[in-house]
Structure 1
């Protein structure tokens, strides 16, 4: 396990602690503005140190983690979880998520009436 003493790039650190599947995905998320360090928008080369708050937006939820240990190499899930303190908000329960308008397979195209009902359900 490589553990440098100084600073680490945010894209390398978020990949190493398994917040992203690849380092290029972590860098792309930084460039797109989905990663913040201490409330500031982070570029891939932004340096993080222990105590920094890293906010990652992506997928269905938002992750807020506090850096505990510096890592540059990908490690096991247990070591990765020990490297940060997770302060993420609780995920939305599945019962509360609105069900999208689902049609039976092979039912054909929706009629005008069906489209109006779908739009009404979506709040349009």
Structure 2
């Protein structure tokens, strides 16, 4: 592990970098995603122990989101989000697609009726009157 005063490593495990870059909350989740085929490096499915170097291109599937990024720097330690954002550059098309998906989900949520869940006493009475069961 690199000390705070020493230079960054030349190569680093994929799972460790994904954790340090804050794509996954734990290193175990990062390793699980890599083993599950959710992470591709330079277009190929890899193992969690594969060494990563600056210039590598990653494709990360996380839920229904897709990140296509290029590794700019390596960091063995997990730091603040502002530092983690400097470790990679995201493809503009990937960013635009993710923003479009976020907007689509927002519109779907707005279109759904509010007040879901169990009906209250008044709604149950109205339902009984409409269906003729009471």
Scaled to the shorter chain, the TM-score interval is 0.7 to 0.9
List structure 1 runs of 4+ shifted beyond 6 angstroms.
Answer: 99-103
TM-score where L is the length of structure 2 = 0.69
- Work out which structure has the larger RCO, using CA pairs closer than 8 Å and 6 or more positions apart in sequence: 1
CA drift of 1:95 comes to 2.3
Q: Structure 2 regions of 5+ residues with no counterpart?
A: 120-134
What value does the CA root-mean-square deviation take over the aligned residues?
A: 2.4
Looking at CA atoms only, which structure, 1 or 2, has the larger radius of gyration? 2
Q: Structure 1 regions of 5+ residues with no counterpart?
A: 108-124
What does residue range 1-124 of structure 1 map to in structure 2 within 5 Å?
Answer: 1=4, 3-87=7-91, 88-90=94-96, 91=98, 92=101, 93=103, 94-95=106-107, 104-106=116-118
Contact kept? 2:22, 2:81, Cα under 8 Å? yes
Label 1:101 to 1:46 Cα distance change in 2 as closer, same or farther (>3 A): farther
Q: How many residues align?
A: 107
Label 1:102 to 1:22 Cα distance change in 2 as closer, same or farther (>3 A): same
Question: Which residue in 2 is equivalent to 1:118?
Answer: none
More helix by share: 2
